[in-house]
Amino acid sequence: MRGEIQRVLARQPLGQLGVTPFQGLDLEGMDLASANISSAQFVKDNLTNATFAGSNATAASFSQDTWSNTICPNGVSSTYYVSGCFTPRRYEMSLIIAPKPGSTLSKSPSHFTAEFRLANPGVSVLTGSAAQALAGDHDLRAILAGPGITTQVINCGWNKSASYFTCTFATPPLAQTGTSHNYTITVRVNQGSGFMSAMPIRQAVRVSCTSDALACRSRLICGRAGRYMSMHSGPKIDMVPIRAT
């Protein structure tokens, strides 16, 4: 069946053959690079690790398919999209304003704030009404977690005058000290298909920590993306690991 699909698509567009939709098929790892899938219908198919790079997908439709590390017609992984190759791009972290890499946060204040910007890839940094709506609709969250503390999940706001998002946490009184205890802030965004981690800044920076405070090190970590049904759980991004020493 898999070989027949590839042979058919090599000859002429699937949409012109009058055949039934691809439905409920296991197309994992299928190589459809440069294939003509114009007007084709994919319904509840497993597209894990399949490649559509360079294919003609004009008027093709996809419904309830499983996307995981699928290569889209433009050569970009489906990981970077909200719900598969033909949906909006996931927002990316474009700038971490605070805590700065290598900065030290005193434990005495009752609260501290994470500040950052998001970008719509290939379009622009998220600002104005779009950013305000994201925060106002409670579609942007930050999660503080680590050993010995109760995980904090808070809604982030939009600082209109400074054009960045802000997330204010209560300083954990029970944060454990020592270089082996790490605390993470994870930013998650709802773009219409549930909350997913914001995509990372594409550079990892490791900085050593100092004592007698909450010390920050900018260390962006991508985990393994899982399968999903028309949505990505996506890689988990630890935006700002922090440490109490």
Which segments of the chain have a pLDDT < 50? 12, 15-18, 202-239, 245
Tallying the residues shown for the chain, one arrives at 245
> Do 17 and 50 belong to one domain?
yes
Give the span between the Cα atoms of 59 and 40, in whole angstroms.
7
Per DSSP bridges, beta strands 140-145 and 41-43 are unpaired
Residue ending a domain, among 65, 87, 109, is 87
CB 142 within 8 A of CB 99: no
Which range marks the domain in which residue 60 is found?
A: 1-87
**Torsion angle (degrees, nearest 10) of CA 80, 83, 89, 92:** -60
User: Residue 31: which residues within 8 A CB-CB, separation 6 or more?
Assistant: 6, 50, 51
How many domains, in total, are found in the chain? 2
Query: What is the pLDDT at residue 183?
Result: 79
